[in-house]
Amino acid sequence: MTTVDPDTSLIRRIQKLLDKASRTANPHEADAFAAKAARLVAEHRIDPERLQASGAAGDELVLHDVPLGRGAYVRARLALLMAVAEPNDVRVVFRSTPTGTVAHTAGFRSDIDVVDVMYHSLHQQAAGHVTTVRRGTAAATQRFRRSFLFGFADRVGEILAEARTATEANAPAASAHATSVALRARADRVDDWVGESFGRIRSARAPSAAQAHGWAAGASAANSADVGRARLAGRPAIGRGAS
């Protein structure tokens, strides 16, 4: 008899659900699919069996590298990664290397896997919205695209946090306290793991201000984002303004 890893099954469910969202021209249907995917991720986070398995061989604490590249969009990509990671109790540390900026995600493997799928999908979705946008100059185009991604990231974080709060609020009262305690313990283990892995961490300086119009456009696009869909080959990436 073949068994299916529950976390793999979750990702497949999200992929299939949001594959449908990508094919519909109805924005209300797309919103509904996206909201359901966000709820699935939130339910995954508070699943009692998964919480009890913390530290088991299949759900150990791990580090994962996410290349963010170079140039004007690095901090916006980082903002998107952090927007996805935070509601899933995954911590993000980044550093500059000779080949570009690399983010390190730290957390339980099941959470890291979900964050990785969601980040790559959402980045490509944002790119699909904005790579056709042109402004009067290459610099103006770059400013708009960068601001768009910041706005997109901010709204994605809100959507996932809202789903998380609603799911926790609807959990059975009898298990709510135990779940809350388990989640805090799980988050504390991640924080300890980050401290052991990286030592003292400095806060990065704030990124330069984003353009209001681009930010608003990005936030609007995130409202119908296919939250959690798998990365698709051939999708565009957000590059230089003149691209």
Q: Which tens digit of pLDDT belongs to each residue from 163-206?
A: 778 777 777 666 667 777 777 888 899 999 898 888 777 776 66
As a whole number of angstroms, the distance between CA 107 and CA 33 comes to 27
Q: pLDDT band at residue 224, thresholds of 50, 70 and 90?
A: low
Is residue 1's pLDDT more than 50?
Answer: no
Is residue 241's pLDDT more than 60?
Answer: no
| Residue 92 contacts residue 105 (beta carbons within 8 Å) | yes
pLDDT of residue 103: 94
| % of residues, the chain, pLDDT over 90 | 17
**Cα dihedral 69, 73, 79, 81 sign:** negative
As a whole number of angstroms, the distance between CA 228 and CA 43 comes to 14
108 SS3 class: strand
Residue 176 burial by Cβ neighbours in a 10 Å radius (0-12, 13-18, 19+): middle
Dump strand ranges (E) for the chain: 61-69, 91-97, 100-108
Q: pLDDT band at residue 36, thresholds of 50, 70 and 90?
A: confident
pTM score, whole prediction: 0.74
pLDDT of residue 77: 93
